[in-house]
Amino acid sequence: MAEAKIPKATAKRLPIYYRYLNILFNAGKQRVSSTELSEAVQVDSATIRRDFSYFGALGKRGYGYDVESLLNFFKKTLNQDRLTNVALIGVGNLGHALLNYNFRQTNSVRISAAFDINEEIANTIQSGVPVYPMAEMKEQLQIQQIDVAILTVPIDDAQKVADELVAAGVKGIMNFTPIRISVPATVRVQNVDLANELQTLIYFLDHYGSEAANQ
């Protein structure tokens, strides 16, 4: 399939559409109108139509969208029909929580290997995931064909570990540390700063209350 460039905001909504379409499909529904979809996923129908237009005309006027073909389409786009193994580096409090969580509500990603510098935790199994010493990281990432890593090490080690991940050939890093790591342009970083997200929420509530929410 040609790699259509879709806007980041659209890409972020795809899993939401996908999850809902899956529910419809499992309930035996064959089609869905854009209004119904809009209400269920809380995205206005104009946005839905625009999002879908990036993938070509999928909807028919007066008919709505065909659930199964839409689902198959998103499945391919999101690679939901393929399992992506992901690594986690730093099995501290947050790392532990993520191992335990392990994205069970999706069938498409799972943390299959964790790494830690602490010798007490390396060579153990945590929440069903093997934890390897850092010295084995490069080798394990290659054996397991992992090119995505979740970074939950302390701030002071984040850049160093990111460099090690890049050297090991990782293509994407989900950075849970509050610092911005530097990586080559060929590596993609997604920052998830939980404290910052929470502070932003509180800031907006303090300054604007809940009325202007989501606008």
Residues that bind ligand ATP (CB under 6 A): 89-95, 116-118, 121, 134, 152-154, 157, 160-161
Closest approach, Cβ 146 to ligand ATP, in A, equals 15
Closest approach, Cβ 98 to ligand ATP, in A, equals 9
Q: How far apart are CA 198 and CA 179, in angstroms?
A: 16
Minimum CB distance to ligand ATP smaller for 108 or for 126: 126
Closest approach, Cβ 171 to ligand ATP, in A, equals 19
Minimum CB distance to ligand ATP smaller for 59 or for 90: 90
Backbone angles phi, psi at 208, to 5 degrees: -125, -5
Q: Write out the E strands in 72-127.
A: 84-89, 109-116, 124-126
Closest approach, Cβ 156 to ligand ATP, in A, equals 8
Minimum CB distance to ligand ATP smaller for 66 or for 157: 157
Q: Are strands 148-151 and 129-133 parallel, antiparallel or unpaired?
A: unpaired
Minimum CB distance to ligand ATP smaller for 66 or for 136: 136
Cα three-residue angle 84-87-90, rounded to 5 degrees: 155
Q: How far apart are CA 114 and CA 80, in angstroms?
A: 22
- Residue number with the smallest Cβ distance to ligand ATP: 92
Q: How far apart are CA 58 and CA 53, in angstroms?
A: 7
